[in-house]
Amino acid sequence: MTFSVRSVHALRPVRALAAALLAGALLAGCSTFSEEGRDQYERSQGEQPDADPSAEESESAKPEPPYDVRPLLKPDKDYLGLAADGAPAKMTAVKDFAEKAGKKPNLIEFYSAWGDQYETRLVQNSWDYGAVSFIAWEPFETSLKDIAGGKEDEYIREYARSVKELNLPVAISWAHEMNGFWYPWGTKKATAAQFTAAYKHIHDIFADEGATQVIWVWSPNVTHPMPKVKLEPYWPGDEYVDWVGVVGYYAATGPSTYQSLYGPTMTQIRTFTKKPFIIAETAAQAGERKPADIKDLFQGTAKREDVIGFVWFNFDKETDWRINSGPLSQKTFREQAQSQSFGFDVTKP
């Protein structure tokens, strides 16, 4: 997909460094025992050791266990995801979408440039709202060769440590649409081997740092614009991917049904992995066909057990992709979103 939104500023992460100290209190009360009677009582009960305040402090200082993302990987219901203007730095657009759609999104996508610190405030904002953050991490300012070669390791380690420290689930889609020609990490400037080497290198550093809170997303564009580019050479392996995040939009020209838009790509991917699909970016171009496209997207996703949801790109950019570009489009989206198949509490998947 040639359309992309980049963050226009790098938000410094807000790191909460708090230590909770528990203080023990010794309560002195009246006693009915004489000194002799107390000695006899303590001997009969066995001597009780004095409380050790340092033990309580040590217990309170223990870190929380890493957030377990496994229940989020294959939920019983589908994700209703959203990418919206200013979100999740500000939640105004998210709340407006939820009001128009009649249902809260539980996956919020935003774009982060390579070199940005892990945007903990944005991830926390999403979680506080009831959604998992979905970060499209875009390596504009470096080469895949340099990443794979270790030249960016210090930055990657710092990013991974911040993920671990915040300890909230986050989906990361690194270098999306790598099979296209429109990004600097795409087919014109990088090879499939360089992509997989860089992807695996980043993943391995996160694992080494203990940043297990990540849902790793591998996100090719639908193959229609470049049918000769095979996807398997870009596949890093099942142990490196949790979701296959297919990117594809309903445009005025080109494929116009769920099967014709996503089918060929999914069929090709199924020859080398069974990982669940999520439509990582989608929307429908404004026009007479848009209500039908919206219905097709919802129903096509619901019919496939191996597709766990989609992320709607709710921007007026190049064209009006928003669900309320027309009254019938919004009505259709709202009707389809009421399906019990979509939306669930991510904190209790």
**Tens-place pLDDT, residues 227-275:** 999 999 999 999 999 999 999 999 999 899 999 999 999 999 999 999 9
Residue of 109, 119, 138, 177 marked catalytic = 177
Q: How many structural domains are present in the chain?
A: 1
Residue 63 pLDDT level (bands cut at 50, 70, 90): confident
Would you say residue 91 lies in a domain? yes
Residue 43 pLDDT level (bands cut at 50, 70, 90): very low
Three-state SS for 310?
A: strand
Instruction: Give the H or E element holding residue 137.
Output: strand 132-138
Mean pLDDT of 110-137: 98
Would you say residue 181 lies in a domain? yes
Give the pTM: 0.83
To the nearest whole percent, how much of the chain has pLDDT over 70? 82
Would you say residue 255 lies in a domain? yes
**CA–centroid distance for 296 within its chain:** 25
Would you say residue 21 lies in a domain? no
Would you say residue 267 lies in a domain? yes
CA distances from 172 to 88, 90, 131, 148 (A): 15, 20, 14, 18
Would you say residue 12 lies in a domain? no
Measured at the alpha carbon of residue 338, what is the angle toward residues 335 and 342, in degrees to the nearest 5? 125
Residue of 154, 281, 288, 335 marked catalytic = 281
Would you say residue 228 lies in a domain? yes
Domain of residue 258, CATH code = 3.20.20.80
Would you say residue 108 lies in a domain? yes
> Is residue 35 annotated as part of the catalytic site, yes or no?
no
Is pLDDT above 90 for 115?
yes
- Residue 5 in tokens: 């939104």
> Is residue 177 annotated as part of the catalytic site, yes or no?
yes
Residue 336 pLDDT level (bands cut at 50, 70, 90): very high
- Host domain of residue 229: 71-337
